[in-house]
């Protein structure tokens, strides 16, 4: 009768490496004899009843791949990037290696052989992973320009410490530009440079970035971001985008604006702008779905009808808006 060994509880809920199995007291031969254990690929195993979890799969893959790191779409998801819908739920496993190591040859893993400095890789949450900045650069070969701008805006935005537990952006546009300059032969680098020219500090969400880009594509002057009603008051109501010289406030109200408390806060915010003589335009998911085509028409109409505040009007905005009126 074959002797049965108790299966270590620490290996029962997630993928694990051969080294982790040995550390738990199991020999490789014992793993193959167990019907509840499946071999994934060289040096990797998982419980047969395991439900896929990207973070757990990435951790075990990292542990089984010395010198390599989790990258590209996998890294983007683990970092919490706001990816476009067609990629947001991807379970792809991407692994990068430096050129002096053999290329990745694992079933179900997308391998990359790349040039990366130590500063572009970090060890967090139990795995080696490309930094947010390097991940953004790696995505440049796959994401359309506007989506790459959205991810970039997310990295450079100023956080709200009371909600996010940090008081500095993940990176800056200048730092990303320096990173791009270090990888001039990387696929997607041209798109990355184009994205850098369109990125701005101040967008709090991807839809806000997409609305701004749609406005530029429609020939509308670039709006200001996070426009305070009273510029010197840090507690002043603010608009996501706007034109101070036209007293036009533009809001994108996403899903989190549907709670009763948030609806009340939004109404109070909008009434404050309106009481000060501003026009308030509000857009949402329906406008996002049509690429803000209707929204940009409404914004153009409002700009043409707006009264000019000469105290804050810029020369560039004046010239462009006059051209809009003529057209």
Which helix (H) or strand (E) is 155 found in, with range?
helix 145-156
Please give the Cα distance from 213 to 18 (Å, whole number).
49
What is the CA 146 to chain-centroid distance, rounded? 12
Phi, psi for residue 70 in degrees, rounded to 5:
-70, 140
- Is 14 in contact with 44 (CB distance < 8 Å)? no
Domains of the chain (ranges, CATH numbers)? 1-51 (no CATH), 52-201 (no CATH), 203-327 (3.40.960.10)
pTM, two decimal places: 0.86
pLDDT of 1 reads 39
Please give the Cα distance from 249 to 278 (Å, whole number).
7
pLDDT of 41 reads 75
pLDDT of 248 reads 97
Average pLDDT per block of 10 residues along the chain, 327 residues long: 56 76 69 65 77 91 93 98 95 95 88 96 96 98 98 95 89 98 96 98 96 97 95 91 96 70 85 96 95 97 83 58 57
For every residue of 231-257, DSSP letters joined together read: TT-TTS-EEEEEEGGGTEEEEE--GGG
Tokens of 258: 């549907």
């Amino acid at each position: 009768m074959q002797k049965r060994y108790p299966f270590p509880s620490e290996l029962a809920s997630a993928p694990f490496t051969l080294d982790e199995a040995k550390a738990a007291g199991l020999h490789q031969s014992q793993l193959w004899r167990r019907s509840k254990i499946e071999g994934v690929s060289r040096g990797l195993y998982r419980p047969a009843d395991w439900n896929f979890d990207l973070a757990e799969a990435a951790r075990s893959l990292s542990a089984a791949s010395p010198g390599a790191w989790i990258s590209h779409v996998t890294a983007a998801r683990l970092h919490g990037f706001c990816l476009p819908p067609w990629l947001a739920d991807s379970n792809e496993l991407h692994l990068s290696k430096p050129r002096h190591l053999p290329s990745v040859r694992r079933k179900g893993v997308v391998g990359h052989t790349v040039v990366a400095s130590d500063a572009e890789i970090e060890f967090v949450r139990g795995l080696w992973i490309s930094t947010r900045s390097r991940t953004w650069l790696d995505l440049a070969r796959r994401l359309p320009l506007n989506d790459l701008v959205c991810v970039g805006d997310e990295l450079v935005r100023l956080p709200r410490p009371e909600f996010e537990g940090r008081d500095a952006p993940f990176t800056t546009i200048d730092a990303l530009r320096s990173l791009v300059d270090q990888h001039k032969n990387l696929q997607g680098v041209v798109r990355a440079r184009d994205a850098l020219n369109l990125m701005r500090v101040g967008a709090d969400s991807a839809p806000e970035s997409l609305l701004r880009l749609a406005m530029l594509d429609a020939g509308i002057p670039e709006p200001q971001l996070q426009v305070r009603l009273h510029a010197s008051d840090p507690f002043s109501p603010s608009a996501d985008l706007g034109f101070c010289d036209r007293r036009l406030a533009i809001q994108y109200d996403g899903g989190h604006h549907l709670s009763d408390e948030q609806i009340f806060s939004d109404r109070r915010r909008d009434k404050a702008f309106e009481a000060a003589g501003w026009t308030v335009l509000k857009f949402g998911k329906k406008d996002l779905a049509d690429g803000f085509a209707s929204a940009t028409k409404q914004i153009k109409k409002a700009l043409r009808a707006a009264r000019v505040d000469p105290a804050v009007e810029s020369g560039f905005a004046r010239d462009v808006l006059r051209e809009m009126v003529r057209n």
